[in-house]
Amino acid sequence: MKYNTLGGTDLRVSRLGFGCGSIGGLLVRGEYPKMREALARALELGVNYFDTAPLYGNGQSEVNLGAVLRELRAEALIGTKVRLAGKDVGRIGEAITESVEGSLRRLGRRDIDLIQVHNRIGFTWKPERDPDRIGLPDLGTATETFEALQRQGKVRFWGITAMGETDALRAAVAAGRFHSIQVPYNLLNPTAGTIVGRGFPFQDYGQIMEPASQKGMGVIAIRILAGGALSGAPERHPVASTWVNPIASEERYGDDVARARRFSFLVEEGVVNNLVEAAVRFAVSNANVSTALLGISSLEQLEEAVKYVERGPLPGEILARIQAQKLN
Ligand SMILES: NC(=O)c1ccc[n+]([C@@H]2O[C@H](COP(=O)([O-])OP(=O)(O)OC[C@H]3O[C@@H](n4cnc5c(N)ncnc54)[C@H](OP(=O)(O)O)[C@@H]3O)[C@@H](O)[C@H]2O)c1
Protein backbone atom coordinates (compact mmCIF):
# COMPACT_ATOMS: atom_id res chain seq x y z
CA MET A 1 0.00 0.00 0.00
CA LYS A 2 1.25 3.46 -0.86
CA TYR A 3 0.75 6.40 1.48
CA ASN A 4 0.34 10.13 0.92
CA THR A 5 0.66 13.00 3.34
CA LEU A 6 -2.75 14.61 3.79
CA GLY A 7 -1.99 18.13 2.58
CA GLY A 8 0.00 20.13 5.10
CA THR A 9 -0.83 17.84 8.03
CA ASP A 10 1.45 15.18 9.44
CA LEU A 11 -1.11 12.44 8.68
CA ARG A 12 0.19 9.76 6.33
CA VAL A 13 -2.91 8.22 4.80
CA SER A 14 -3.20 5.06 2.73
CA ARG A 15 -4.06 5.61 -0.91
CA LEU A 16 -7.26 3.61 -0.32
CA GLY A 17 -9.40 4.69 2.62
CA PHE A 18 -12.13 2.61 4.26
CA GLY A 19 -15.58 4.20 3.99
CA CYS A 20 -17.75 3.31 6.97
CA GLY A 21 -20.89 4.98 5.60
CA SER A 22 -24.43 3.74 5.12
CA ILE A 23 -24.18 3.00 1.41
CA GLY A 24 -21.56 0.25 1.74
CA GLY A 25 -23.16 -0.49 5.07
CA LEU A 26 -20.77 -3.01 6.66
CA LEU A 27 -20.07 -0.81 9.71
CA VAL A 28 -23.75 0.12 9.99
CA ARG A 29 -25.73 -3.03 9.25
CA GLY A 30 -23.07 -5.75 9.21
CA GLU A 31 -22.58 -8.48 11.83
CA TYR A 32 -19.86 -7.59 14.34
CA PRO A 33 -17.55 -10.56 13.51
CA LYS A 34 -17.70 -9.60 9.82
CA MET A 35 -16.79 -5.99 10.61
CA ARG A 36 -13.91 -7.16 12.78
CA GLU A 37 -12.67 -9.52 10.08
CA ALA A 38 -12.79 -6.82 7.37
CA LEU A 39 -11.18 -4.12 9.52
CA ALA A 40 -8.42 -6.49 10.66
CA ARG A 41 -7.72 -7.44 7.04
CA ALA A 42 -7.80 -3.79 5.95
CA LEU A 43 -5.15 -2.96 8.55
CA GLU A 44 -3.10 -5.96 7.53
CA LEU A 45 -3.23 -4.79 3.91
CA GLY A 46 -2.02 -1.35 4.97
CA VAL A 47 -5.29 0.60 4.94
CA ASN A 48 -4.92 3.07 7.81
CA TYR A 49 -7.60 5.72 7.21
CA PHE A 50 -11.24 5.16 8.19
CA ASP A 51 -14.03 7.61 7.41
CA THR A 52 -17.17 7.73 9.52
CA ALA A 53 -19.82 10.26 10.66
CA PRO A 54 -22.43 10.64 13.40
CA LEU A 55 -25.09 10.39 10.69
CA TYR A 56 -24.02 6.95 9.50
CA GLY A 57 -26.48 4.58 11.14
CA ASN A 58 -27.37 7.29 13.66
CA GLY A 59 -24.03 6.91 15.49
CA GLN A 60 -23.73 3.16 14.95
CA SER A 61 -20.85 3.42 12.47
CA GLU A 62 -18.74 5.39 14.99
CA VAL A 63 -19.64 2.97 17.81
CA ASN A 64 -18.71 -0.09 15.72
CA LEU A 65 -15.53 1.43 14.29
CA GLY A 66 -14.33 2.50 17.75
CA ALA A 67 -15.14 -0.88 19.31
CA VAL A 68 -13.38 -2.94 16.63
CA LEU A 69 -10.28 -0.73 16.52
CA ARG A 70 -10.02 -0.92 20.33
CA GLU A 71 -10.41 -4.69 20.27
CA LEU A 72 -7.70 -4.92 17.59
CA ARG A 73 -5.51 -2.40 19.48
CA ALA A 74 -5.02 -0.72 16.11
CA GLU A 75 -3.22 2.54 15.50
CA ALA A 76 -5.56 3.88 12.85
CA LEU A 77 -6.44 7.34 11.61
CA ILE A 78 -10.08 8.31 11.93
CA GLY A 79 -11.98 11.03 10.12
CA THR A 80 -15.48 11.87 11.25
CA LYS A 81 -17.86 14.76 10.63
CA VAL A 82 -20.30 17.28 12.00
CA ARG A 83 -23.59 18.11 10.29
CA LEU A 84 -25.15 21.44 11.23
CA ALA A 85 -28.94 21.65 11.13
CA GLY A 86 -31.37 24.58 10.84
CA LYS A 87 -31.77 24.63 14.64
CA ASP A 88 -28.04 25.40 14.98
CA VAL A 89 -28.28 28.87 13.42
CA GLY A 90 -26.86 31.27 16.04
CA ARG A 91 -25.22 28.46 18.03
CA ILE A 92 -22.78 26.91 15.57
CA GLY A 93 -19.89 26.74 18.04
CA GLU A 94 -21.96 24.95 20.69
CA ALA A 95 -23.45 22.57 18.12
CA ILE A 96 -20.03 21.60 16.77
CA THR A 97 -18.58 21.12 20.24
CA GLU A 98 -21.52 18.91 21.27
CA SER A 99 -21.19 16.86 18.08
CA VAL A 100 -17.43 16.37 18.56
CA GLU A 101 -17.96 15.34 22.21
CA GLY A 102 -20.58 12.83 21.03
CA SER A 103 -18.22 11.41 18.40
CA LEU A 104 -15.39 11.06 20.93
CA ARG A 105 -17.75 9.20 23.28
CA ARG A 106 -19.03 6.85 20.59
CA LEU A 107 -15.56 6.20 19.16
CA GLY A 108 -14.10 5.79 22.65
CA ARG A 109 -11.16 8.04 21.82
CA ARG A 110 -9.49 11.09 23.31
CA ASP A 111 -9.02 12.84 19.98
CA ILE A 112 -10.18 12.81 16.39
CA ASP A 113 -7.57 12.96 13.62
CA LEU A 114 -9.75 14.78 11.12
CA ILE A 115 -13.12 16.44 11.74
CA GLN A 116 -15.05 17.58 8.68
CA VAL A 117 -18.07 19.70 8.00
CA HIS A 118 -20.77 17.40 6.61
CA ASN A 119 -22.95 20.12 5.03
CA ARG A 120 -23.07 21.36 1.50
CA ILE A 121 -21.67 24.87 1.15
CA GLY A 122 -23.19 27.97 -0.42
CA PHE A 123 -22.56 31.68 -0.04
CA THR A 124 -25.26 32.10 2.60
CA TRP A 125 -27.29 29.85 4.85
CA LYS A 126 -31.04 29.95 4.39
CA PRO A 127 -32.16 27.01 6.52
CA GLU A 128 -35.82 27.60 5.70
CA ARG A 129 -34.98 26.92 2.03
CA ASP A 130 -32.21 24.35 2.39
CA PRO A 131 -31.32 23.31 5.96
CA ASP A 132 -28.39 21.21 4.78
CA ARG A 133 -26.51 24.03 3.00
CA ILE A 134 -24.45 26.33 5.21
CA GLY A 135 -22.86 29.62 4.13
CA LEU A 136 -19.29 30.89 4.00
CA PRO A 137 -19.60 32.98 7.21
CA ASP A 138 -20.80 29.85 9.05
CA LEU A 139 -17.71 28.05 7.81
CA GLY A 140 -15.63 30.81 9.43
CA THR A 141 -17.37 30.19 12.76
CA ALA A 142 -16.87 26.46 12.34
CA THR A 143 -13.14 26.97 11.77
CA GLU A 144 -12.80 29.07 14.95
CA THR A 145 -14.53 26.28 16.89
CA PHE A 146 -12.24 23.63 15.40
CA GLU A 147 -9.23 25.76 16.38
CA ALA A 148 -10.52 25.92 19.96
CA LEU A 149 -11.12 22.15 19.98
CA GLN A 150 -7.60 21.63 18.66
CA ARG A 151 -6.19 23.70 21.56
CA GLN A 152 -8.13 21.40 23.92
CA GLY A 153 -6.53 18.37 22.24
CA LYS A 154 -9.87 17.01 20.98
CA VAL A 155 -9.28 17.34 17.24
CA ARG A 156 -6.04 17.36 15.29
CA PHE A 157 -7.10 18.67 11.86
CA TRP A 158 -10.29 19.76 10.09
CA GLY A 159 -11.81 19.91 6.66
CA ILE A 160 -14.94 20.37 4.60
CA THR A 161 -17.13 18.36 2.29
CA ALA A 162 -16.70 20.08 -1.07
CA MET A 163 -20.32 19.77 -2.15
CA GLY A 164 -22.71 22.64 -2.79
CA GLU A 165 -22.23 25.67 -5.04
CA THR A 166 -19.00 25.42 -7.00
CA ASP A 167 -18.20 29.15 -6.74
CA ALA A 168 -18.78 29.14 -2.98
CA LEU A 169 -16.54 26.08 -2.67
CA ARG A 170 -13.81 27.84 -4.63
CA ALA A 171 -14.12 30.85 -2.33
CA ALA A 172 -13.96 28.59 0.73
CA VAL A 173 -10.84 26.90 -0.61
CA ALA A 174 -9.26 30.27 -1.46
CA ALA A 175 -9.82 31.40 2.16
CA GLY A 176 -7.70 28.36 3.01
CA ARG A 177 -8.62 27.85 6.65
CA PHE A 178 -8.90 24.07 6.71
CA HIS A 179 -6.70 21.06 6.07
CA SER A 180 -8.71 18.92 3.68
CA ILE A 181 -11.63 18.61 1.30
CA GLN A 182 -13.81 15.54 0.65
CA VAL A 183 -15.07 15.72 -2.89
CA PRO A 184 -17.03 13.43 -5.22
CA TYR A 185 -14.73 12.16 -7.96
CA ASN A 186 -15.50 9.33 -10.32
CA LEU A 187 -15.79 8.31 -13.95
CA LEU A 188 -19.36 9.67 -14.14
CA ASN A 189 -18.42 13.05 -12.70
CA PRO A 190 -14.66 13.64 -12.75
CA THR A 191 -14.98 17.45 -12.75
CA ALA A 192 -13.32 17.93 -9.34
CA GLY A 193 -10.09 16.86 -10.99
CA THR A 194 -10.62 16.84 -14.75
CA ILE A 195 -11.63 19.36 -17.39
CA VAL A 196 -14.77 18.28 -19.24
CA GLY A 197 -16.15 19.64 -22.47
CA ARG A 198 -19.06 22.03 -22.87
CA GLY A 199 -22.45 20.48 -22.35
CA PHE A 200 -21.39 18.29 -19.43
CA PRO A 201 -24.78 17.38 -17.96
CA PHE A 202 -24.00 17.36 -14.22
CA GLN A 203 -22.53 19.80 -11.70
CA ASP A 204 -19.07 20.97 -12.70
CA TYR A 205 -16.82 21.09 -9.64
CA GLY A 206 -14.33 23.19 -11.62
CA GLN A 207 -11.22 21.07 -10.87
CA ILE A 208 -11.39 22.18 -7.25
CA MET A 209 -8.75 19.65 -6.27
CA GLU A 210 -6.09 21.79 -7.89
CA PRO A 211 -6.48 25.02 -5.86
CA ALA A 212 -7.10 22.90 -2.75
CA SER A 213 -3.79 21.11 -3.24
CA GLN A 214 -2.00 24.36 -3.97
CA LYS A 215 -3.34 25.72 -0.67
CA GLY A 216 -1.82 22.71 1.11
CA MET A 217 -5.11 20.90 1.64
CA GLY A 218 -5.40 17.16 1.46
CA VAL A 219 -7.92 15.78 -1.05
CA ILE A 220 -10.18 12.89 -0.09
CA ALA A 221 -12.05 11.44 -3.07
CA ILE A 222 -15.53 10.14 -2.25
CA ARG A 223 -18.14 8.23 -4.24
CA ILE A 224 -15.42 6.71 -6.40
CA LEU A 225 -17.89 3.96 -7.41
CA ALA A 226 -20.82 6.40 -7.64
CA GLY A 227 -22.39 4.61 -4.69
CA GLY A 228 -21.94 1.24 -6.44
CA ALA A 229 -23.31 2.20 -9.88
CA LEU A 230 -19.84 2.04 -11.42
CA SER A 231 -19.87 -1.73 -10.93
CA GLY A 232 -22.24 -1.62 -13.92
CA ALA A 233 -24.70 -3.93 -12.13
CA PRO A 234 -27.87 -2.76 -10.34
CA GLU A 235 -27.87 -5.53 -7.68
CA ARG A 236 -26.89 -4.47 -4.16
CA HIS A 237 -24.99 -6.42 -1.52
CA PRO A 238 -27.28 -7.58 1.35
CA VAL A 239 -25.71 -5.14 3.91
CA ALA A 240 -25.55 -2.24 1.45
CA SER A 241 -28.13 0.49 1.37
CA THR A 242 -30.97 -0.58 -0.92
CA TRP A 243 -31.50 2.99 -2.05
CA VAL A 244 -28.71 5.27 -3.29
CA ASN A 245 -29.21 8.96 -3.93
CA PRO A 246 -26.78 9.86 -6.73
CA ILE A 247 -24.42 12.78 -6.06
CA ALA A 248 -23.86 15.09 -9.02
CA SER A 249 -24.70 12.51 -11.65
CA GLU A 250 -27.99 11.16 -13.01
CA GLU A 251 -31.15 11.61 -10.94
CA ARG A 252 -31.71 7.88 -10.58
CA TYR A 253 -29.26 5.18 -9.57
CA GLY A 254 -30.41 2.93 -12.43
CA ASP A 255 -29.45 5.63 -14.92
CA ASP A 256 -26.00 5.88 -13.33
CA VAL A 257 -25.62 2.11 -13.77
CA ALA A 258 -26.50 2.46 -17.46
CA ARG A 259 -24.09 5.38 -17.88
CA ALA A 260 -21.33 3.37 -16.17
CA ARG A 261 -21.53 0.83 -18.98
CA ARG A 262 -20.15 3.45 -21.37
CA PHE A 263 -16.78 2.53 -19.89
CA SER A 264 -17.13 -1.14 -20.84
CA PHE A 265 -14.63 -0.57 -23.65
CA LEU A 266 -11.91 -0.62 -20.99
CA VAL A 267 -12.92 -4.18 -20.10
CA GLU A 268 -13.45 -5.28 -23.70
CA GLU A 269 -9.97 -4.04 -24.63
CA GLY A 270 -8.44 -5.85 -21.65
CA VAL A 271 -7.19 -2.68 -19.92
CA VAL A 272 -8.97 -3.75 -16.73
CA ASN A 273 -10.76 -6.88 -15.53
CA ASN A 274 -14.03 -5.13 -14.75
CA LEU A 275 -15.60 -1.70 -14.25
CA VAL A 276 -14.85 -1.67 -10.52
CA GLU A 277 -11.14 -1.91 -11.33
CA ALA A 278 -11.51 0.93 -13.86
CA ALA A 279 -13.28 3.15 -11.31
CA VAL A 280 -10.93 2.45 -8.42
CA ARG A 281 -7.81 2.94 -10.50
CA PHE A 282 -9.26 6.09 -12.08
CA ALA A 283 -9.66 7.61 -8.60
CA VAL A 284 -6.08 6.90 -7.59
CA SER A 285 -4.71 8.10 -10.93
CA ASN A 286 -5.10 11.73 -9.94
CA ALA A 287 -1.94 12.89 -8.15
CA ASN A 288 -3.93 15.43 -6.13
CA VAL A 289 -5.95 12.68 -4.43
CA SER A 290 -4.45 11.93 -1.02
CA THR A 291 -6.80 9.03 -0.28
CA ALA A 292 -9.73 7.57 -2.18
CA LEU A 293 -12.56 6.31 0.02
CA LEU A 294 -14.50 3.24 -0.91
CA GLY A 295 -17.77 2.28 0.76
CA ILE A 296 -17.29 -1.34 1.78
CA SER A 297 -20.00 -3.98 2.09
CA SER A 298 -17.83 -7.07 2.53
CA LEU A 299 -14.34 -8.44 3.04
CA GLU A 300 -14.32 -9.56 -0.60
CA GLN A 301 -14.98 -6.01 -1.84
CA LEU A 302 -12.16 -4.72 0.32
CA GLU A 303 -9.69 -7.34 -0.94
CA GLU A 304 -10.68 -6.65 -4.52
CA ALA A 305 -10.27 -2.87 -4.14
CA VAL A 306 -6.83 -3.22 -2.53
CA LYS A 307 -5.74 -5.48 -5.39
CA TYR A 308 -6.83 -2.85 -7.92
CA VAL A 309 -5.18 0.03 -6.04
CA GLU A 310 -1.95 -1.98 -6.00
CA ARG A 311 -2.10 -2.16 -9.81
CA GLY A 312 -1.59 1.61 -9.70
CA PRO A 313 -2.89 4.49 -11.80
CA LEU A 314 -4.41 3.84 -15.24
CA PRO A 315 -1.93 4.41 -18.08
CA GLY A 316 -1.73 8.03 -19.27
CA GLU A 317 -2.96 7.12 -22.74
CA ILE A 318 -6.10 5.51 -21.25
CA LEU A 319 -6.73 8.54 -19.03
CA ALA A 320 -6.46 10.75 -22.12
CA ARG A 321 -9.03 8.59 -23.91
CA ILE A 322 -11.37 8.75 -20.92
CA GLN A 323 -10.99 12.52 -20.86
CA ALA A 324 -11.55 12.81 -24.61
CA GLN A 325 -14.68 10.69 -24.40
CA LYS A 326 -17.83 12.67 -24.95
CA LEU A 327 -19.22 12.81 -21.42
CA ASN A 328 -22.50 14.57 -22.15
N1 LIG B 1 -18.74 13.83 3.12
C2 LIG B 1 -19.80 13.34 2.52
O3 LIG B 1 -20.83 14.02 2.40
C4 LIG B 1 -19.77 11.94 1.96
C5 LIG B 1 -20.71 11.59 1.00
C6 LIG B 1 -20.63 10.29 0.46
C7 LIG B 1 -19.66 9.41 0.89
N8 LIG B 1 -18.77 9.78 1.85
C9 LIG B 1 -17.73 8.81 2.32
O10 LIG B 1 -17.21 8.11 1.23
C11 LIG B 1 -17.38 6.70 1.41
C12 LIG B 1 -17.64 6.05 0.08
O13 LIG B 1 -18.82 6.56 -0.54
P14 LIG B 1 -20.12 5.68 -0.79
O15 LIG B 1 -20.11 4.48 0.08
O16 LIG B 1 -21.27 6.61 -0.70
O17 LIG B 1 -19.99 5.28 -2.33
P18 LIG B 1 -18.97 4.40 -3.16
O19 LIG B 1 -17.73 4.11 -2.43
O20 LIG B 1 -18.88 5.09 -4.47
O21 LIG B 1 -19.81 3.06 -3.39
C22 LIG B 1 -19.93 2.08 -2.41
C23 LIG B 1 -20.62 0.86 -3.05
O24 LIG B 1 -19.77 0.34 -4.05
C25 LIG B 1 -19.99 -1.04 -4.18
N26 LIG B 1 -18.72 -1.75 -4.17
C27 LIG B 1 -17.65 -1.55 -3.38
N28 LIG B 1 -16.66 -2.41 -3.67
C29 LIG B 1 -17.12 -3.17 -4.69
C30 LIG B 1 -16.58 -4.23 -5.41
N31 LIG B 1 -15.34 -4.68 -5.19
N32 LIG B 1 -17.35 -4.79 -6.39
C33 LIG B 1 -18.60 -4.35 -6.64
N34 LIG B 1 -19.17 -3.34 -5.96
C35 LIG B 1 -18.43 -2.77 -4.99
C36 LIG B 1 -20.87 -1.47 -3.04
O37 LIG B 1 -22.15 -1.60 -3.62
P38 LIG B 1 -22.94 -3.01 -3.71
O39 LIG B 1 -23.60 -3.18 -2.45
O40 LIG B 1 -23.86 -2.79 -4.84
O41 LIG B 1 -21.91 -4.08 -3.95
C42 LIG B 1 -20.87 -0.28 -2.10
O43 LIG B 1 -22.10 -0.11 -1.47
C44 LIG B 1 -18.53 6.55 2.41
O45 LIG B 1 -18.45 5.35 3.12
C46 LIG B 1 -18.27 7.75 3.28
O47 LIG B 1 -17.28 7.36 4.21
C48 LIG B 1 -18.80 11.03 2.37
Q: What is the pLDDT of residues 49-96, one digit of tens each?
A: 999 999 999 999 999 999 999 999 999 999 999 999 999 999 999 999
Distance of alpha carbon 115 from alpha carbon 122, whole angstroms? 20
CA 131 to chain centre: 21
Of residues 289, 285, 292, 268, the one with CA closest to residue 320: 285
Per-residue pLDDT of 115-159, as tens digits, reads 999 999 999 998 888 889 999 999 999 999 999 999 999 999 999
Query: Domains in the chain: how many in total?
Result: 1
Beta-strand pair 120-121/133-134: parallel
Domain that holds residue 161: 3-324
- Above pLDDT 90, what percent of the chain? 91
Q: 94 CA distance to ligand 1 centroid (A)?
A: 31
* Residue-level pLDDT at 289: 98
Residue nearest to atom 31 of ligand 1 (CA): 301
* Residue-level pLDDT at 197: 80
pTM: 0.97
* Residue-level pLDDT at 202: 95
Which has the minimum average pLDDT: 18-27, 90-99, 175-184, 316-325?
Answer: 316-325
Distance of alpha carbon 27 from alpha carbon 238, whole angstroms? 13
Residue 296: give its domain's CATH number. Answer: 3.20.20.100
Query: Ligand 1: which of 182, 219, 222, 281 to mutate, judged by most atoms within 8 Å of the beta carbon?
Result: 222
Residue nearest to atom 4 of ligand 1 (CA): 222
Atom of ligand 1 nearest to the CA of 222: 10
